[in-house]
């Protein structure tokens, strides 16, 4: 049996030590997700605390259909979004900083190729940062964190078919945005 499930079952039987183990195991994970959404250490710490309070209260509703970490991610992400909306904070997509996407390195060692790769990464980051937060989260989960589409749909509260459709449309929208950007740059050079 999965160790997380064993800890959850112990928590449900009243073990505070088991819950403390879950908190210790996942506190960095929860804080990181909260920080990526909220972009403020103080808000992320408070959202992480709120998340663990919710988890403690909702442990009985964990159905074991998915992994505990998936269930926790869902609660964490929604708690951070709720906090951002309540405080009227700008909602960041799952991660729209410079490191959001690193386009695969060609390994050529050619400075021109490296500059091209950096520029492509930057343009892709910019295109993703213009997406709605939920759309950027879906792109991040599926393409960057390599979460299966079914699990990503569950985390974001989407049906499987809706998630697949959105991913297809988002991929096409990102291709078009990058294509338009490239065409504009070519026109500027001419």
Query: What confidence score (pLDDT) does residue 96 get?
Result: 41
- Measured CA to CA in angstroms, residue 66 lies from 4, 25, 71, 80, 173 at distances of 12, 18, 7, 21, 30
Which range has highest mean pLDDT (61-70, 122-131, 157-166)? 157-166
51-82 pLDDT tens trace: 999 999 999 999 887 789 888 988 998 898 88
* 54 & 120 share domain: no
Q: Shortest CA distance to 64 belongs to which of 146, 129, 9?
A: 9
Per-residue pLDDT of 75-120, as tens digits, reads: 998 898 888 888 876 655 444 443 444 444 445 556 766 666 666 6
Give residue 189's pLDDT: 76
Instruction: Judge contact between 118 and 125, C-beta under 8 A.
Output: no
Q: What are the tens digits of pLDDT across the range 24-42?
A: 999 999 998 888 888 889 9
Distance CA 61, CA 14 (A): 15
The CATH number that applies at residue 150 is: 1.10.10.10
Domain that holds residue 170: 111-189
Same domain, 8 and 56: yes
Per DSSP, the residues of 51-91 read HHHHHHHHGGG--SSS-HHHHHHHHHHHHHHHHHHHTTPPP
Shared domain check, 80 and 7: yes
Would residue 99 count as lying in a domain? no
């Amino acid at each position: 049996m999965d160790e997380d499930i064993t800890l959850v079952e112990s928590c449900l039987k009243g073990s505070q030590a088991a819950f403390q183990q879950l908190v210790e195991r996942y506190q960095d994970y929860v804080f990181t997700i909260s920080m990526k959404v909220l972009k403020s250490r103080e808000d992320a710490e408070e959202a992480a605390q709120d998340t663990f309070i919710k988890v403690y209260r909702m442990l009985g509703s964990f159905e074991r259909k998915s992994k505990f970490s998936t269930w926790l991610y869902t609660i964490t992400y929604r708690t951070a979004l709720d906090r951002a909306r309540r405080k009227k904070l700008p909602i960041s997509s799952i991660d729209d900083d410079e490191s959001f996407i690193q386009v695969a390195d060609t390994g050529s060692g050619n400075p021109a190729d490296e500059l091209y790769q950096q520029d492509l990464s930057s343009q892709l980051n910019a295109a993703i940062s213009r997406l709605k937060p939920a759309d950027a989260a879906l792109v991040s989960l599926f393409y960057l964190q390599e979460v299966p589409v079914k699990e990503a749909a569950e985390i974001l509260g989407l049906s499987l078919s809706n998630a697949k459709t959105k991913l297809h449309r988002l991929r096409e929208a990102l291709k078009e945005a990058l294509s338009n950007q490239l065409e504009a740059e070519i026109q500027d050079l001419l």
